[in-house]
C-alpha cells in the first residue's frame, strides 16, 4: 500500500518523461526589513523632491515628452519634472499582482504578493564552460541554455536574452531568440527591448502563440526596461515600453545603478534616485495605458573604486536590496531584484560566496521576480554552463527554505518519540519512513562524500561535477510538444520578418 | 597636509619631484604654481610637460593599474594635470613643441554606456593627451565632424553592446570615405570586444582597459613622432 503510494508520487513529478515539473515558490516567511516606516517615508520624500526639483532627462524620444506634458508634468526641452500628486495618481493605477501567460498553462506565472519567480541570466555576450573556457556566444548556446532552463524545476520563467547569439546578424537576432524560447521551453518568456519594432515583433509572436484576445486579457510578454541612470531614460527603452504598454503587455522598470558612478556613494541617495527613476517609468506606462502591469525593478551594484568595475554581493548592495523591496511594497507593486550575482569569471569560491550573498537577501526580501537567478558570471558578461547548474542547486535550497517550519501535529513526531525513546536513533522509525524522501532538500550537485571516496573517484570538485550535470541535462532534454499549426505560423512570421529586415524594409503589419 | 615650501629654493629636478607629489595628491593650484616656477627659470615648456607633468602622471597611472589608487583620486590627479596643461598649452603652441597627442573619443550610436569610456578619457588626459569627449550615442557623422574640426591623432570608440559593436565598422568606413582614416589611429574598447574584432573592423588596436589604452596610445604616438622626425 505504502509502496504503491510512493510510486504514484514519483510519476506525478514527471521524472519519467525526463522533464521535471516546475516547483512554484510562495514565501511563507516574514520578510527581512532594514528600514522602519520613517525610513521608507524619508526615501519616498527624497524621491519626490528629486522628481520635482532635479527632474528626469528623456533623450531622443519626443513622444514621451508629449505624453508627460499632456498629463500634467512640467516639460522643458528634454527635461521632465513631476510633482507627487500627479505621479502617484498614475503609479496607483498599476496592479499589485498580475499573471503572465505560459505555453504550458501550469507554468503561467503569478507575479506579486508572496510569490517568487526565478528566471535565468539575461544579456551576456560570452559563454563559458569547463571544457572550452570563455568564448563568444552563439545561437547553439542560446538553445542549450533554453533547454537547461526547461529542465530546471526551480526556474519558473524562460527568461530573455539567455546569451547574445553573436553568430546571428544583430537586426534579426530577436526573432531567433523568441522562436527558441517558444519552441524549446513551455515557460513564460521575455520580449525584445532593443527597439520598438523588435518589441512589436515580440507581441506579434505572442499573438500567434496565444491569440490576440488572450494576450489582451492576460499579458504574455514581459519587457526589461532599464533606466539609463542617473535620472535619464532613452528612446530605445521608452519606445519599447510604449509598445508593450499599449499592447497591454508587462514590463519591468529597472533603474540599473552602479553606485558611486551612476548615483552618489551613499545608499540613502542611491535609493532615493532608484525610487524616483522606477516610479517615473511606471508612471509613464500608466499614462500610456492605465493598469499596465509593471514590476518595480532594482539592479543595484556598487563601483569598485579601484578599477571602475561593478561589485556584487557587497553589504551595501544587500541593504539596498532589502530597502528596495520595502519601497515596492509601500507602493503596492511587485518587486524585481537580485539574482546569483558575482564579478568572478569562473565558478570559484568568490563566485560561490558572492552569489550566495545576493541570493539569500533576494529571497528574504520577498523579491517577486528574480532575473539572473542562474548562470551569471563576470558581472553579466558570461553565461556559465556550470554556474547555471550550481546556481540551480541554490534555487532548490531556496524553494525549500521559503516554506518555513511546518507546525502540524505530525510534524511534532510524537509517534517517533514513542517508538524510539531516549538514546536510540530515528532512522528506522515509522515517522522517518513516512517523510524521509522529502524531509530534507536533496542535493543535485553538491557532494557529501568523505575525503577517501572523493579521492578514489577522481577528486571531482563542484565545478567538474556541474560540467557532467549540464551535459546529462541536455541529453535528457525533451522538447515540450507544440501544436504543429502554431509552430508553422510562428516559423512563417519569423521568415517573413527576416526577409523584410534583410531587404531593409520597415516592419509591415502581419495579418492576424 | 602640505607644509609650506618655498619653490624658489628648489632645483628644477626637485621642482619636478614636488610636482609629481602634488599631481599624485591632486593639488591643482600647487601643480600650477610648480609649472609657473619652472617656466620662470626658462625651462622649455616641452620639458616641463614631459619631465614634470607626464612623468608625474605616469606614477599615478601605474598605481591606478596596480590597484593602489582609487578612481576619484585619479580623477583629482588628472584635473590637476589639466590645470598645469592649461598653463603650458599656449606656450607649447608658440614654441612649436610636439604635442603628446589629441584624441576624439565617444560611445557609438545606439549605446549609452560611458563609465568605461570616461575612465579612458580621464586617464588619457592624465597622461597629457588632449581629449575631446563627444559623449554617448555618437553617429558616424558626429565622429567625422569632430575629426575634421579637431584634427586629432587618435579616435577612440567605445561600445558595450554586441548590437552596437558593428557600428564601429560604420564609423571606420566613413573615415575611409572621407579620406581621414590615415590621419588617425583608431583605438577601440568595451567589455564585449576583443582583438579579433578590432582586426576585423580594421581598427588599429583594441585596449582591454584604461591603463592599456594609455600605454597603447603612447606607443603609437612615439611611432608617429619617429616617423615625423625621419621624414
Ligand atoms: C553599467 C551598465 C549599464 C548602465 C550604463 C550606465 C553608464 N552611464 O555607462 C545602463 C543601466 C544604462 C545600462 C543599460 C543597458 N545595458 Co548595460 N551594462 C552595464 C554593466 C553592468 C557595466 C558596464 C560598466 O560600466 N563597466 C565598468 C567599466 C569601467 O568597464 P568597461 O565599460 O568595460 O570599460 C573598460 C574597458 O572595456 C575599456 N574601454 C571601454 N571603452 C573604451 C573605449 C576605448 C577607446 C578604449 C581604448 C578602451 C575602452 O576601458 C574601460 C576602463 O578600464 C555591463 C556589464 C559588464 N560587467 O560590463 C552591462 C552590459 C554591458 N549591459 C547590457 C545590456 C543588455 C544593457 C541594456 C540593453 C539593458 C536593457 N535591457 O535595458 C541597456 C542598453 C542601453 C543602451 N542603449 O546602451 C549587457 C550587454 C550585453 C550584450 N548583449 O551586448 C551587459 C553585458 C549586461 C548584461 N548581461 O545584460 N547598462
Q: Are A65 and A80 in contact (CB under 8 A)?
A: yes
Residue A15 has what pLDDT?
41
Q: Which ligand 1 atom lies nearest to the CA of residue B114?
A: 9
What mean pLDDT, rounded, does chain A reach?
94
Q: Which of B192, B197, B210 to mutate: most A Cβ within 10 Å?
A: B192
Of all protein residues, the one whose alpha carbon is nearest to atom 44 of ligand 1 is B189
Query: Which set of grid coordinates corresponds to residue B88?
Result: 603650458
Q: How many CB atoms lie within 10 A of CB B65?
A: 18
Phi, psi angles (nearest 5°) of residue A120: -70, 175
Q: Are A262 and A226 in contact (CB under 8 A)?
A: no
Q: Are A185 and A55 in contact (CB under 8 A)?
A: no
Q: Are A395 and A154 in contact (CB under 8 A)?
A: yes
Q: What is the pTM of this model?
A: 0.91
Residue B99 has what pLDDT?
80
Residue to probe by mutation, ligand 1, list B72, B106, B110, B113, most atoms within 8 Å of CB: B113
Residue B55 predicted with pLDDT over 70:
yes
Cβ–ligand 1 contact at B106 (below 6 Å): no
Residue A36 has what pLDDT?
98
What mean pLDDT, rounded, does chain B reach?
93
pLDDT in tens, B161-178: 998 999 999 999 999 999
Question: Minimal Cα–Cα distance from B77 to chain A, Å?
Answer: 14
Q: Give mean pLDDT, residues B101-107.
A: 97
pLDDT in tens, A428-477: 899 999 999 889 998 989 999 899 999 998 999 999 999 999 999 999 99
Question: Minimal Cα–Cα distance from A170 to chain B, Å?
Answer: 6
- Number of residues in chain B: 231
Question: Minimal Cα–Cα distance from A228 to chain B, Å?
Answer: 8
Closest chain A residue to B119 measured between Cα atoms?
A308
CA distance linking residue B108 with residue B143, whole number of Å: 9
DSSP strands (E only) in A355-483:
369-370, 376-377, 382-384
pLDDT in tens, A140-168: 999 999 999 999 999 999 999 999 999 99
Of all protein residues, the one whose alpha carbon is nearest to atom 88 of ligand 1 is A123
Q: Are B74 and B122 in contact (CB under 8 A)?
A: yes
All domains of chain A in start order, with CATH: 1-404+460-507 (3.20.20.480)
A456 φψ region: left (φ > 0), alpha (ψ -120 to 50), beta (else): alpha
Cα-to-centroid distance, B192 and ligand 1 (Å) = 9
Helix or strand (DSSP H, E) at A201: helix A196-210
DSSP strands (E only) in chain B:
102-108, 130-138, 154-158, 185-189, 205-206
DSSP strands (E only) in A338-393:
369-370, 376-377, 382-384
Residue A148 has what pLDDT?
98
Residue B3 predicted with pLDDT over 90:
no
Residue A368 has what pLDDT?
98
Whether residue A261 and residue B115 make contact (CB cut-off 8 A), yes or no, is yes
Residue to probe by mutation, ligand 1, list B191, B194, B207, B213, most atoms within 8 Å of CB: B191
Residue A511 has what pLDDT?
67
Residue A487 predicted with pLDDT over 50:
yes
Sequence-distant (6+) residues with CB within 8 A of A200 are: A243, A507
Sequence-distant (6+) residues with CB within 8 A of A487 are: A183
Phi, psi angles (nearest 5°) of residue B209: -155, 180
| Residue percentage of chain A with pLDDT more than 70 | 96
Residue B95 predicted with pLDDT over 80:
yes
Residue A18 has what pLDDT?
66
Cβ–ligand 1 contact at B188 (below 6 Å): yes
What SS3 state is found at B112?
coil
Poorest-pLDDT segment among A81-95, A106-120, A247-261, B84-98: B84-98
What SS3 state is found at A347?
coil
CA distance linking residue A130 with residue A459, whole number of Å: 15
Q: Are B86 and B39 in contact (CB under 8 A)?
A: no
Residue A11 has what pLDDT?
38
Helix count and strand count (H, E) for chain B: 10, 5
B104 φψ region: left (φ > 0), alpha (ψ -120 to 50), beta (else): beta
Residue A497 predicted with pLDDT over 50:
yes
SS3 string, B125-148, reads HHCCCEEEEEEEEECHHHHHHHHH
Collect all residues of chain B within an 8 Å Cβ-Cβ radius of residue A381. 191-192
Longest dimension (CA), chain A: 80
Q: What is the ipTM of this complex?
A: 0.82
Q: Give mean pLDDT, residues A244-250.
A: 97
Question: Minimal Cα–Cα distance from B85 to chain A, Å?
Answer: 25
DSSP state, residue B158 = E
Q: Which ligand 1 atom lies nearest to the CA of residue B159?
A: 41
Amino acid at each position: 500500500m505504502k509502496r504503491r503510494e510512493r510510486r504514484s508520487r514519483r510519476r506525478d513529478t514527471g521524472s519519467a518523461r525526463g522533464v521535471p515539473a516546475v516547483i512554484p515558490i510562495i514565501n511563507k516567511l516574514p520578510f527581512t526589513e532594514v528600514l522602519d516606516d520613517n525610513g521608507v517615508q524619508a526615501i519616498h520624500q527624497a524621491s519626490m523632491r528629486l522628481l520635482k526639483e532635479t527632474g528626469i532627462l528623456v533623450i531622443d524620444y519626443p513622444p514621451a515628452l508629449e505624453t508627460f506634458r499632456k498629463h500634467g508634468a512640467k516639460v522643458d526641452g528634454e527635461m521632465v519634472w513631476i510633482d507627487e500628486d500627479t505621479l502617484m495618481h498614475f503609479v496607483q493605477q498599476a496592479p499589485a499582482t498580475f499573471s503572465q501567460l505560459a505555453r504550458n498553462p501550469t507554468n503561467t506565472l503569478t507575479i506579486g504578493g508572496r510569490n517568487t519567480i526565478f528566471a535565468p541570466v539575461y544579456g551576456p555576450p560570452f559563454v563559458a564552460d569547463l571544457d572550452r573556457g570563455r568564448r563568444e556566444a552563439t545561437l547553439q548556446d542560446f538553445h542549450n541554455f533554453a533547454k537547461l532552463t526547461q529542465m530546471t524545476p526551480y526556474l519558473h520563467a524562460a527568461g530573455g536574452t539567455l546569451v547574445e547569439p553573436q553568430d546571428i546578424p544583430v537586426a534579426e537576432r530577436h526573432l531567433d531568440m523568441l522562436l527558441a524560447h517558444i519552441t524549446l521551453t513551455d515557460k513564460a518568456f521575455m520580449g525584445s527591448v532593443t527597439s520598438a519594432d523588435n518589441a512589436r515583433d515580440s507581441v506579434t509572436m505572442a499573438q500567434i502563440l496565444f491569440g490576440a484576445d488572450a494576450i489582451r486579457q492576460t499579458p504574455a510578454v514581459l519587457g526589461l526596461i532599464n533606466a539609463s541612470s542617473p535620472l535619464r531614460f532613452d528612446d530605445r527603452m521608452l519606445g519599447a515600453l510604449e509598445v508593450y504598454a499599449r499592447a497591454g503587455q508587462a514590463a519591468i522598470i529597472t533603474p540599473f545603478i552602479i553606485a558611486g558612478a551612476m548615483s552618489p556613494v551613499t545608499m540613502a541617495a542611491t535609493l532615493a534616485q532608484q525610487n524616483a527613476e522606477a516610479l517615473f517609468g511606471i508612471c509613464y506606462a500608466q499614462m500610456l495605458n492605465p493598469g499596465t502591469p509593471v514590476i518595480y525593478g532594482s539592479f543595484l551594484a556598487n563601483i569598485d573604486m579601484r578599477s571602475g568595475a561593478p561589485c556584487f554581493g557587497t553589504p551595501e548592495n544587500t541593504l539596498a536590496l532589502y530597502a528596495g523591496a520595502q519601497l515596492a511594497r509601500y507602493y503596492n507593486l511587485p518587486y524585481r531584484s537580485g539574482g546569483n550575482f558575482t564579478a568572478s569569471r569562473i565558478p570559484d569560491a568568490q563566485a560561490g560566496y558572492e552569489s550566495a550573498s545576493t541570493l539569500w537577501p533576494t529571497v528574504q526580501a520577498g523579491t517577486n521576480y528574480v532575473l539572473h537567478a542562474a548562470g551569471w558570471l563576470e558581472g553579466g558578461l558570461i553565461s556559465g554552463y556550470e554556474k547555471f547548474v550550481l546556481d540551480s542547486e541554490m534555487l532548490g535550497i531556496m524553494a525549500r527554505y521559503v516554506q518555513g517550519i511546518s507546525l502540524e501535529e505530525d510534524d511534532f513526531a510524537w509517534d517517533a518519540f514513542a517508538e524510539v525513546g531516549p538514546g536510540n536513533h530515528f532512522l528506522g522509525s515509522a515517522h522517518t519512513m513516512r517523510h524521509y524522501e522529502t524531509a530534507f532538500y536533496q542535493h543535485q550537485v553538491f557532494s557529501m562524500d568523505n575525503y577517501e571516496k572523493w579521492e578514489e573517484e577522481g577528486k571531482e570538485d563542484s565545478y567538474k561535477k556541474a560540467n557532467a550535470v549540464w551535459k546529462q541535462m541536455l541529453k535528457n532534454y525533451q522538447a515540450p510538444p507544440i501544436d504543429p499549426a502554431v509552430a508553422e505560423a510562428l516559423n512563417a512570421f519569423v521568415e517573413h520578418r527576416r526577409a523584410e529586415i534583410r531587404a531593409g524594409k520597415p516592419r509591415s503589419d502581419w495579418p492576424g | 597636509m602640505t607644509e609650506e615650501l618655498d619653490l624658489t629654493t628648489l632645483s628644477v629636478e626637485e621642482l619636478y619631484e614636488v610636482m609629481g607629489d602634488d599631481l599624485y595628491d591632486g593639488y591643482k593650484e600647487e601643480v600650477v604654481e610648480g609649472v609657473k616656477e619652472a617656466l620662470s627659470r626658462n625651462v622649455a615648456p616641452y620639458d616641463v610637460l614631459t619631465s614634470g607633468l607626464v612623468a608625474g602622471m605616469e606614477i599615478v597611472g601605474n598605481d591606478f593599474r596596480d590597484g593602489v589608487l582609487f578612481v576619484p583620486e585619479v580623477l583629482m590627479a588628472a584635473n590637476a594635470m589639466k590645470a598645469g596643461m592649461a598653463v603650458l598649452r599656449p606656450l607649447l603652441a608658440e614654441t612649436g613643441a610636439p604635442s603628446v597627442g589629441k584624441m576624439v573619443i565617444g560611445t557609438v550610436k545606439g549605446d549609452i554606456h560611458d563609465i568605461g569610456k570616461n575612465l579612458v578619457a580621464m586617464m588619457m588626459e592624465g597622461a597629457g593627451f588632449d581629449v575631446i569627449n563627444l559623449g554617448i550615442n555618437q553617429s558616424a557623422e558626429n565622429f567625422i565632424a569632430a575629426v575634421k574640426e579637431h584634427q586629432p591623432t587618435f579616435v577612440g570608440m567605445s561600445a558595450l553592446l554586441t548590437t552596437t559593436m558593428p557600428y564601429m565598422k560604420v564609423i571606420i568606413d566613413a573615415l575611409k570615405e572621407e579620406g581621414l582614416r590615415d590621419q588617425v589611429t583608431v583605438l577601440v574598447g568595451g567589455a564585449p570586444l576583443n582583438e579579433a574584432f578590432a582586426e576585423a573592423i580594421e581598427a588599429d588596436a583594441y585596449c582591454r582597459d584604461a591603463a592599456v589604452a594609455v600605454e597603447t596610445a603612447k606607443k603609437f604616438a612615439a611611432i608617429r613622432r619617429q616617423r615625423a622626425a625621419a621624414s
